[in-house]
Structure 1
Amino acid sequence: MRILLLVHSFNSLSQRLHVELCERGHAVSVELDVNDAVTREAIALADPDLVLAAFLKRAIPEDVWRARRCLVVHPGIVGDRGPSALDWAVLDGEKEWGVTVLEADAEMDAGPVWASATFPMRAATKSSLYRREVADAAVEAVFTALARLQSGTFVPQRPDHNDPSVRGRGRPLCRQNDRAIDWANDATDIVLRKIRSADGTPGVRDELFGRAVRFYDAHRAEGLSGAPGALIARCGDAIARATRDGAVWIGHVREEGRSTLKLPATYVFATESAALPVAEGYAPIRYVEDGPVGFLHFAFYNGAMSTAQCEALRAAYAQALARPTRVLVLMGGPDTWSNGIHLGLIEAAESPADESWRNINAMDDLTRDIIETTDRLVIAALRGGAGAGGVFLALAADEVWACDGVVLNPHYKDMGNLYGSEYWTYLLPRRAGAENAHRVTQARLPVGVAEARRLGLIDRILPASARTDATAVALIARTLAVDAGLAVRLDDKRRRRAADEAEKPLAAYRAEELARMRLNFYGFDASYHVARYNFIHKIPKSRTPLTLARHRLGPVRGAAGRKAEGLP
């Protein structure tokens, strides 16, 4: 089918659907919902069989949905209506939630239902659920809807709200008053639900040190307690605040009226938090060992890696190398493996150019250490997505594994034509070949695990269940660690590294990449700084990039047709 994805922004769910639809041979193009006139123009150009609204913040124009079949992906169970479906599900402690694919109609989220899928809820943030369970359910429901649509026999029905099995109902926008924290009376579980229901956006409004902020990145502070509402400890980026029956870590905040940036709590309140006692418990970096296998976890918020975090991870990596293991698995975080440099802290810096330079050099130092590890096998196990420099950091490992459903964005150019570093000019052609390397970096499109394997970016696809249960990762890693052929493999690895270094030193790749990056950071073309500012401050795009809006380049082709023409 020719499918036009109509979206407010090309977010994680839109990218996942784009990847899955293209993988199954559909001809997919994307249009950002800028205004009604642009939407009408896009439909005239694309002439789609179906308009799929995966993430919208306003209604599809009536003349559009009356003239074209328009299906809406709603992150709620059948019968649920309103703009805060997942917020309410987290806040209310729902045990089961779902996704509904329904036909666009005069009333938002109230059209006939084409398909739905449900999932058990985790005790997690709205963002985490959206990236994982909601995305999985959306893929299932969308393909059920497509099959029913193509059958020509299915008749969608509106939910019967008199039917007791239809639990969904209309809910209003979830506002700050609905999730305001009562520190004197709320238990830890309630506080966590309130903050998690707003994680990503809009955050929960509260106060720290007498200043109005919004809270994000909350975790249970095991073993800590104090007077309810009191600030009682600090650990890394986080500040602990006591609840009625315990405490929570607040990892990130945004200052009300002063900034639109989500930043580490101890960065925003550096002076004030310094007076708090240091405790343990907020640990994005942790190392565990199982016999001959080491596992290095680094669950950085939204996958962003600041200069200090790169340096801390590099130190942890060195400590892991000091252990007598034969295989080291880089686990990343359960939601995001890595998205490269920390654009938020760069934006907040006195000199964004200088901080960009420090951050990319810290990423390069870490990447080089991984490339130069020749005494053991290094595995990058991607349980969550990776983007930009995070992808190439993973490629520094000997093997890259990725869970089914993971999406990669192995390119930098959308960030103001940023050239990129992390030794990608060495790592990418070595893995994918020169032709595929060019296609990957120029396409600027998300890549699913099946395509990533065909391109040589990953070596093994793990079951989706490995995102929450690392048993499969550990089992494969242990098998490699005790394999009789590992010594030979490591000898080959050392010889290849020495040969590559003799042919062209890593320092030369780095120097060439950083020469281009210096122009991005300090040159006359400010595109990177403008793009970073717009991204961090969530300024909507005024038009859809042509890499996504293929209907604006000519007829929209399916995967087979694009491949025949040598297109990504």
Structure 2
Amino acid sequence: MKILLLCTAHNSLSQRLYLTLAPDHEVTLEYALSAETVIEAANMAHPHLIICPFLTSPVPKEVFTKFMTLVVHPGAPGDGGPSALDFIIMGEDGTDSDLERVMKKDLWSEHGRSHWAVTVLQAIEEYDAGPVWAFEQFCIDIDDHNLTKSSLYRGDVTRAAIAASVAAIERVRLAIHETAGTDLEGDARWDRITPELQAKSEYKTASVTTGEPFLGGHTTPLPLLKAAQRDFDINRHSARMISRLIRASDSQPGCLTRMFSSSLYVYGGFIEDGEHMADIHAQPGTIIGTRNDAICFRTIDGKGIWVSHTRRVKKKTDATMWPKVPAIPLFTDIGIIDAKNPPQLLSDHPEDFHRLEYPTFQEVFIEYDTISTGQRVAYLTFDFYNGAMSTNQCRHMCAALRCILDTHTELSPLSAMVLLGGSYFSNGIHLNVIEAAPDSAYESWANINAMNDVVLLVLQDFAAKNIMTVAALRGNAAAGGVALAAAADLVIAGENVVMNPAYRTLGLFGSEYHTVSYYGRVGYDVGRHLLRDMLPVSAQQARDIGLVDIVLPGYGDALDTAIHTHVSNLISSNQKPGQWKSKLDLSPTALAFARMQELGEMAKDFWSARSLRYHSRRRDFVRKIKASKTPLRFAVHRRKVGEYDEEETDSFDMIETFAMLLRKGQEVALQESIEALKAQARRASTPGTGSEMEKRKLELMFECYYNAG
């Protein structure tokens, strides 16, 4: 079947769906940049079926009346609107249809809904109101402080969306069979897919996997939740309600609050609670502690709320959105706290990185396990926001890894160290922090070196003490995060994990010793394809090529148990994973040489003319600039023979390519300035003076152009 995916962006859900469908279908993808581009793409691809896994704009009538179009909606049957997940986490439970009254009087449910769902419905003129072809539901606990809108979307919503989408495709096939009365082959069969196919009524009332009706209560169309409706009242709202509001707004748009001296979007929402809070006496809204660049403020019910990240509000005069950065740097910048003397009524992180037993914010912690044979294993959790690892966070993680190494003694040896990551495993360097830095190139350099220090500890220091290293990916990974995992002796991945190993999409050569781990694991040719193709890779595909060693079923607690069991069995059986390393020179000299070569290329990406590719792409990514077109590597329907994306060409690596672009841009700017100055000179009363001013301004304004020669 020919399937066209229409997406606002190719996000985690659309990538999972693409990887699920691609083995059995011809799949192509188009960014829904405008109604015109969507119509054009549909006519070019002429698909049998269109699926919209992540779409924030209506499907044009010219498309859904011509092609069967299915929309994946993160809501239960009967629910509509773009803010469904936001309302659910806030406590909407369907018992009161007057949401304005609920929000105004805080009539939110005590415990929220027990279940939520994803619905695959047919696109019609009315938004999210077409015939239902499938829905899948899942349990939900809205007061789990690890549950944010984005983590819910990447986890339960994505899994349900895949199940419902696959079921919907099968039901479309059955509808063709019933309509045609014969089992046709190939395109002759799929050509019978039209918008006139009828979905059965039971598709709306029975979930895909269990056949049960929706168990989460009454549903009703939900309105758009505006930014102003997400604010909290520090003198009225409990810690639990504030946490819900913040977590429901993650990662877009954020919880807009006026509690601080200026309006800010805040992120995090972890609750601080425990016996120690009784000893803290402060007014609601007072900042009572800091930890790992996050701040904690007091709530009216005697608890605390942690804010890990913040973002300034975009003003009308701002060209783009502001970066989302850790709280302390921004709070320091706008004068809310003194970084040299921050409020500290709470304890800092434990020096030995043990897991705190009370509710709090803790990005990095270590748990030790002694298996039945008496051997010890260290499990390192590092749950960084959106998987991004800033310079400070990398240093914090290095300290945790060294702490683990220090526990390895002759009397109490350590057999293995397991990297667990968090809801993401890791996505590498922290692009938002880099974008917000006064010198983005220098911060990029500091960050990549700090990331390299983390990977070097895994590659070298643990190996020197004969401690097995395991990377257990429970969440998605990208770029430097994939390289971090690949450096381990053994890589385990959950079956739902998606990996994006390439760096080129962002205009980077990459480091983190990936030239050692990628090529060592999969060989040079396959490794080069991973880096140049810039396509998502499923856990199963990664296992097939050797980037991943083991794929385990399940998610959540079941996956955690499977990881612990596998590691314990591996250690007790005395197996030695990491045979790929035996073929390589991993001496300190060889690793230093690999690092030098990678950083040499990265220096070009940060400071040479080639840096144009990285700095512009980072800006667009961080500030959410809308793409101008769909990459040809996704839009197969647009690719002609001999056509490539810019990132797929060899010239993308050549400094001269970007030097020429800079010269052309400077020449255009120079000509425009000359014309403007000539006009100014013509208006001047003394032509001679104007001419001298013209020359003087040219030297001042375009000094860099002439220096570039």
TM norm. shorter chain > 0.5:
yes
- Asked if the contact 2:483–2:517 (Cα under 8 Å) also holds between the matched residues in 1, the reply is yes
Partner of 2:155: 132
Q: What is aligned with 2:19?
A: 19
Give 1:245-394 correspondences, 5 Å limit.
245=301, 246-257=303-314, 260-270=322-332, 272=337, 274-277=341-344, 279-280=346-347, 281-291=360-370, 292-323=376-407, 324-333=413-422, 335-372=423-460, 373-374=462-463, 375-394=466-485
| Structure number with bigger Rg | 2
Verify the 8 A CA contact 1:384 1:467 in the aligned structure 2: no
Cα distance in structure 2, aligned partners of 1:466 and 1:395: 22
**Deviation for aligned residue 1:329:** 0.4
Amino acid at match of 2:267: Y
Cα distance, 1:167 vs structure 2: 2.6
Partner residue in 2 for 1:564: none
Q: Give, in whole Å, the separation in 1 of the partners of 2:125 and 2:42.
A: 19
Residue 39 of structure 1: aligned partner: 38
Higher-RCO chain (CA-CA 8 Å, sequence separation at least 6) = 1
Letter in 2 for 1:397: A
Which of 482, 505, 510 aligns to 2:590? It is: 505
Question: What residue in structure 1 maps to residue 62 of structure 2?
Answer: 63
Q: Tell me which of 509, 528, 535 is aligned to 2:614.
A: 528
How far the C-alpha of 1:208 sits from its partner, in A, is 5.2
Q: Is the counterpart of residue 148 in structure 1 residue 171 in structure 2?
A: yes
Query: Which digits, 9 at most, give the CA deviation of each residue in 1:519-544, with x for residues without a partner?
Result: 11101131100000000000010100
Letter in 2 for 1:76: G
Q: C-alpha separation between the residues in 2 aligned to 1:73 and 1:442?
A: 30
Is 1:119 the counterpart of 2:198? The answer is no
Superposed CA deviations along residues 343-364 of structure 1, whole A, max 9, x for unmatched, are 0110011110111111111111
Which residue of the partner structure matches residue 561 of structure 1? none
- Greater shift, 230-239 or 423-432, is seen at 230-239
Identify the residue that residue 541 of structure 1 maps to in structure 2. Answer: 627
SS at match of 1:369: helix
* Cα shift at 1:411: 0.3
**Which whole-Å deviations, capped at 9, do the CAs of 1:89-141 have from their partners, x for residues lacking one?**
11123221100000000100000000000011133110010000000000000
Deviation at 1:279, TM superposition (A): 2.1
- The separation in 1 between residues aligned to 2:575 and 2:565, in whole angstroms, is 17
Structure 1 residue 494 displacement after superposition: 8.4
Q: Over residues 354-380 of structure 1, what are the superposed CA-to-partner deviations in whole Å (9 max), with x where a residue is unaligned?
A: 111111111112111211122111000
Secondary structure of the equivalent of 1:393?
Answer: helix
* Structure-1 separation of matches of 2:581 and 2:265: 50
Query: In the alignment, what sits opposite 2:654?
Result: none
| Richer in strand (by share) | 1
Residue aligning to 2:560: 470
In the alignment, which residue of structure 2 is the partner of 1:100?
A: 119
Deviations 1:201-233 (A, max 9, x none): 111111354121111111011233643222222
Kindly tell me: are residues 10 and 58 of structure 1, through their superposed partners in 2, closer, same or farther at Cα, counting changes over 3 Å? same
Work out the CA distance in 2 between the residues paired with 1:87 and 1:157: 30
Q: Deviations over 1:301-345 (max 9, x none)?
A: 000001111111111111112223101100111x10000000011
Contact 1:235 1:278 in 2 (8 A): no
Query: What is the alpha-carbon distance in structure 2 between the residues aligned to residue 176 and residue 395 of structure 1?
Result: 40
CA–CA separation in structure 1 for the residues paired with 2:260 and 2:537: 44
Q: Counterpart in 2 of 1:48? A: 47
Q: CA offsets per residue over residues 163-205 of structure 1, 9 Å max, x none?
A: 9988321111012343321212212211111111101011111
151-160 vs 54-63, which deviates more?
Answer: 151-160
Does 2:233 align with 1:182?
yes
Q: Encode CA deviations 1:389-438: one digit per residue, 9 max, x unaligned.
A: 1100110000111111110000011102x110111111111111222112
Mapping for residues 233-244 of structure 1, pairs under 5 Å? 233-244=289-300
> Are 1:205 and 2:256 matched, yes or no?
yes
How many Å separate the matches in 1 of 2:200 and 2:300? Answer: 47
Query: What SS does the corresponding residue of 1:67 show, helix, strand or coil?
Result: coil
Assess if the C-alpha contact under 8 Å between 2:288 and 2:346 holds in 1.
no
Q: Partner amino acid for 1:266?
A: I
Q: In 2 relative to 1, CA 164–392 (structure 1 residues): closer, same or farther, beyond 3 Å?
A: closer
CA distance in 2, matches of 1:349, 1:468: 40
Distance 1:440 1:469, change over 3 A: closer
> Using the alignment, how far apart are the partners of 1:301 and 1:533 within structure 2?
19
Q: Following TM superposition, by how much is the alpha carbon of 1:151 offset from its aligned partner in structure 2, in angstroms?
A: 1.0
Task: Find the residue that maps to 2:258 and give its secondary structure.
Answer: strand
Query: What's the secondary structure of 1:505's corresponding residue?
Result: helix
Check the 8 A contact 1:403/1:466 in 2, yes or no. Answer: no
- Pairwise CA distance, 1:468: 6.6
Alpha-carbon distance in 2 for matches of 1:95, 1:164:
10
Aligned residue identity for 2:55: L
- Give me the whole-angstrom Cα distance separating, in 2, the residues matched to 1:232 and 1:483: 49
Q: Which SS does the other structure have where 2:270 is aligned?
A: strand
What displacement does 1:443 show? Answer: 1.3
**Cα distance change, pair 376–63 in 1 and its aligned pair in 2 (3 A):** same
Aligned to 1:222: 273
Counterparts of 1:455 and 1:439, CA distance in 2? 11
Query: How big is the shift at 1:554?
Result: 5.0
Q: Distance in 2 between matches of 1:485 and 1:205?
A: 52
Q: Which runs of 5+ in 2 are unaligned?
A: 92-111, 179-196, 206-212, 316-320, 348-359, 371-375, 408-412, 642-709
Q: 1-side partners of 2:214 and 2:555: how far apart?
A: 32
TM-score for both structures, normalised by structure 2: 0.74
Task: Find the aligned partners of 1:160 and 1:364 in 2 and give their Cα distance.
Answer: 51
SS in structure 2 of the partner of residue 131 of structure 1: helix
SS class of match (1:326): strand
For 1:167, what is the secondary structure of its paired residue?
Answer: coil
